[in-house]
Amino acid sequence: MFELPLGDHAQLRPLEPWHAQEFLDHMDRARPYVDPWIPWATFSTDLASATATLQRYADEQAKDARRICGIWLDGTLVGGVMFTNFDATTGVCEIGCWLEAGAAGRGLATRACRVLIDWAFGQRGMSRVEWWVAAGNHRSIEAARRLGMTRDGVLRQRHPYRGVRHDKEIWSVLAEEWSGVSPVGRVPAPDVKAQLDRLMSVFLGAFTNTGGSRPNVAVVREVFIPQGTIVSNVGDDPVIYDLDGFIEPRQKILTDGTLTEFSEWEVAERTEILGSIAHRFSEYRKSGFLNGDWFEGSGSKTTQFVRTSAGWRMSSMAWVDV
């Protein structure tokens, strides 16, 4: 009865005890992908335990505390978002999310999290939204970055799970920082917006080499049209690259030890869609080790998109560091 569209034929709805069988079926599909990052997935192994998991959240919601929502894609439960902690007195809450493997890569969890964060700040007047994540959970860390969160610190060996103590990273966003992200319901052409979000996510993810992962800069060719141009306006004069000229030097420094533990992520964006063309203005942050020295930076990008017979693609991009 109560649902919000997320685009891409997906909806966000309350996840309640009467969904227990559907939730269990979903957990059976999701368990290999989300465990060990979400321990309660391990505990929802039959109808009784799945019902108990959802009932705990229902009981907590009745106290204005924790609450949980599901993400349905084409009518099938594929993931969800939740407030794992919610304290209206202090104005601090913690958010989390999960997806089964078949629904990953569409931006669904990010959009659902934005709905909850919008509600926490806009409707409930919260001051701070937190994101607690095991240090090895790179998918979740990237989600925190896409939401514009800042890493506050690491609690070493904070969480024991299956005989291993895991470091916990704490990320957060403050009410005054939550700007520039269009809430669901006011985004034009949600299916198109989801495609543009995915292109930007793939582009930024192409340079990530954190945690021993290998960058895949060549994927830039897949998100751009062949004639695409990329412009750096960082120095005195713009430097204009074709795709090969942009890709090759970056692939080298990201794999030869020059630039390590590097990642870049959007903290705000504004997207305008006009028929078969679109424009996106982004603010971003980045961090890593350059020649062994830690650095952090930020800047702005402007990106143009065109719709082709193969789907939406980037046509040009320009950036400046600030």
Provide the sign of the torsion angle of the four alpha carbons 85, 142, 196, 31, taken in this order.
negative
Contact 127, 29 (CB under 8 A): no
Residue 319 token pair:
């950036």
Smallest CA-to-CA distance from 85 within 67, 99, 58, 59 is with 67
Which residue shows structure tokens 């034929």?
9
Per-residue model confidence (pLDDT) at position 188: 39
Residue 318 token pair:
């320009």
User: Order of strands across the sheet with 4-7?
Assistant: 4-7, 10-14, 67-73, 76-87, 92-99, 128-134, 164-174, 150-161
Per-residue model confidence (pLDDT) at position 40: 66
Integer CA distances (angstroms), 269 to 19, 118, 176, 193, 292, in order: 35, 15, 16, 11, 31
Cis peptide before 36 (omega within 30 of 0): yes
Alpha carbons 276 and 192: distance in angstroms, whole number: 10
Smallest CA-to-CA distance from 117 within 125, 129, 109, 133 is with 129
Contact 246, 230 (CB under 8 A): yes
Residue 164 token pair:
């291993």
**What is the value of pTM for the model shown?**
0.58
Once rounded to an integer, what is the mean pLDDT over residues 61-82? 93
Residue 160: which pLDDT band, with cuts at 50, 70 and 90?
Answer: confident
Q: For the chain, which domains are there?
A: 4-177 (3.40.630.30), 190-321 (3.10.450.50)
Q: What value does the mean pLDDT of the chain take?
A: 87
187 vs 25 pLDDT, higher one:
25
